[in-house]
Amino acid sequence: MEDLLTYIGKGIVSHPDDFKVEKKVDGDVDLYNLTVNQDDFGQVIGRQGRTARALRAIARAAAARTGRRAQVEILE
């Protein structure tokens, strides 16, 4: 899952070296913190949050295949 989010995220941003994914596990929930460059924050969020919603949907779908739940947080 981290590889998937990293691949998609680095394709979106202008500074791919600053894009990082950290995973934390809390019971049956996987929390993914996406750290992006301040200049790329708007690109990752997208217009009216569409890109962020799409990233979260992809993460939830991939996690559901393994019987887990996923949450994605986007940090500067």
**pLDDT reported for residue 49:** 95
How many angstroms separate the Cα of 36 from the Cα of each of 32, 53, 63, 65, 69?
13, 16, 22, 27, 23
For residues 26 and 31, what is the distance between their CA atoms, to the nearest angstrom?
7
The 10s digit of each residue's pLDDT in 60-71 is: 999 999 999 999
Question: Tokens at residue 38, please?
Answer: 């301040």
Q: Give me the pLDDT at residue 37, please.
A: 95
Structure tokens at 57: 């949907």
Q: What is the pLDDT of residue 20?
A: 96
Domains of the chain (ranges plus CATH)?
2-75 (3.30.300.20)
Q: β-strands 29-35, 20-26: how paired? A: antiparallel
Assessment of whether the complete model's pTM goes beyond 0.75? yes
